[in-house]
Amino acid sequence: MEWCVSMPKIELHAHLNGSIRDSTLLELARDLGEKGAIVFSDVEHVILKNDRSLSEVFKLFDLIHILTTDHKTVTRITKEVIEDFAADNVVYLELRTTPKRNDSKGMSKRSYVEAVLDGIRSVNVVEVDLSHKLNMDTSAYSHAMNDVCDGTGSKKIYVRLLLSIDRRETAEAAMETVKLALEMRDFGVVGIDLSGNPSVGEWLSFFPALEFARKQGLPITLHCGEVPNPDEIRAMLDFLPRRIGHACCFGDDEWKLLKELKIPVEICLTSNIRTETIASVDVHHFADLYESNHPLILCTDDAGVFSTSLSAEYMLASSTFGLGKRDMFQLAEKAIEFIFACDKVKRDLKMIYTTALTELNL
């Protein structure tokens, strides 16, 4: 595990509200309990429960959203989540979140994203690179600081945002999110994700917003095949997204198409096992994709909800599928090809991996 932590890692599938620390969720629940807004004892066990079905996970997200929906809390959780990924030696993080409107808190989708950006800017235990453009504007946003945690000099994490469309949303709300992402491109937003309960919503209603995003040059990743739905899976693959998440419930035909199209897959082992989307880790489709050299990226999905970390996901892949240190390093480094940020960031990351190769004696 120590070695997995020491290896630089790239995280491309992490939901902000799924990555919150349990301790923070409990604190927020206790506060709301004291204000009489919820009954703390009713929610404590929901937060601490370990195994949840896929539908129970979405019930938990509804609770999390009640606990986190004000600007200050969104800023706080963003800061903490980035600090946790940085502590796990994640060097590039594509964090995804669903912009939320909440009239009772005076929150619009835009002000939600601004609260997330405030959280990114308030990280102070590690230097954060939020966007090339912002780095040049030192007066407004640059906030480089030395790593005060381990005393080994400066440590840096690249953070980029994907705005998620929730499958519960209307076509209009989806379009609003895409337009917001386009407006916020200079502020670190690099793409669009489609996520949410896979048993809810129709692919066709999101298609116009996603097609518009693509025409405007925004890369797209889709949650695809979390439940068996061959027609939707085929329509999603035909759309040719830049990446897909999960790919658990594919039939033979869809599997063949995925491989022909070589669409990179974000693999979330612990999440798939915990939600019983896959029966057990040893029969996970990671093995097939890995052996056939299909592009894949190991990711956490919801590190808080599933009590995992990216290092733990590498450990699990290593112990289950027999990956050695060199294999893990190559897998981590290969993720550079699939990030949505610009070529300059890719070059920087390649340098980080070249240096790490020597430091880790590989």
Residues acting as catalytic residues: 226
Which of 9, 79, 223, 285 is in the footprint of ligand 6MZ by CB under 6 A? Answer: 223
* Residue where the block lists tokens 């963003």: 78
Q: Report the residue number, 68 or 311, with the smaller CB distance to ligand 6MZ.
A: 68
Closer to ligand 6MZ at the Cβ: 98 or 311?
Answer: 98
- Cβ proximity to ligand 6MZ, 273 vs 360, nearer residue: 273
> What residue type is 213 in one-letter code?
A
User: 7, 9, 13, 18: which one contacts ligand 6MZ (CB under 6 A)?
Assistant: 18
Distance between CA 61 and CA 166 in Å, rounded? 12
Which of these segments, 13-21, 85-93, 137-145, 318-326, binds ligand 6MZ (CB under 6 A)?
13-21
Q: Taking a C-beta distance cutoff of 8 angstroms, is the pair 16, 78 a contact?
A: yes
Residues numbered 60 to 79 that lie near ligand 6MZ (CB under 6 A) are 61
Instruction: Tell me the window of 10-18, 169-177, 291-299, 317-325 that interacts with ligand 6MZ (CB under 6 A).
Output: 10-18
For 335, the 3-state DSSP assignment is helix
What is the CB-side half-sphere exposure of residue 358 using CA atoms within 13 A? 4
Identify whether the C-beta of residue 167 lies closer than 8 Å to the C-beta of residue 204.
Answer: no
- For ligand 6MZ, which is the closer residue by CB, 129 or 169? 169
d(CA 108, CA 39): 27
Q: At closest approach, how far in Å is the CB of 320 from ligand 6MZ?
A: 20
How far apart are alpha carbons 186 and 229 in whole angstroms?
Answer: 36
Binding flag, residue 38, ligand 6MZ (CB under 6 A): no
Which of these segments, 11-19, 23-31, 128-136, 328-336, binds ligand 6MZ (CB under 6 A)? 11-19
Whole-number minimum distance, CB 113 to ligand 6MZ, in Å? Answer: 11
Q: What are phi and psi of 61, to 5 degrees?
A: -60, -35
Residue 206 binds ligand 6MZ, judged by CB under 6 A? no
**Minimum CB distance to ligand 6MZ smaller for 127 or for 169:** 169
Give the list of residues 6+ apart from residue 166 with CB closer than 8 angstroms, or none.
98, 195, 196
C-beta of 131 vs 271, nearer to ligand 6MZ = 271
Residue 196 to residues 58, 111, 203, 223, 341, Cα–Cα distance (Å): 8, 21, 12, 8, 24
Which of 38, 57, 190, 315 is the binder for ligand 6MZ (CB under 6 A)? 57
Which residue in 226, 232, 254, 313 binds ligand 6MZ (CB under 6 A)?
226
Distance CA 274, CA 276 (A): 5
> To the nearest whole angstrom, how small is the minimum distance from the Cβ of residue 358 to ligand 6MZ?
37
* String marking each residue 314-353 x if it binds ligand 6MZ according to CB under 6 A: ----------------------------------------
Strands (E), the chain: 9-15, 90-97, 127-129, 156-166, 189-195, 220-224, 243-246, 265-267, 296-298
302 binds ligand 6MZ (CB under 6 A): yes
CA distances from 74 to 116, 123, 165 (A): 6, 13, 17
CA atoms within 13 A on the CB side of 312: 14
Q: Which listed residue (12, 16, 310, 332) binds ligand 6MZ by CB under 6 A?
A: 16
Of 137-176, which residues contact ligand 6MZ (CB under 6 A)? Answer: 164, 166
For the bound state, the minimum distance from the C-beta of residue 213 to ligand 6MZ, rounded and expressed in Å, comes to: 17
| DSSP three-state, residue 98 | coil
Token couple for 229: 């739905």
Residues that bind ligand 6MZ (CB under 6 A): 15-18, 57, 61, 97-98, 164, 166, 195-196, 223, 226, 271, 275, 301-302
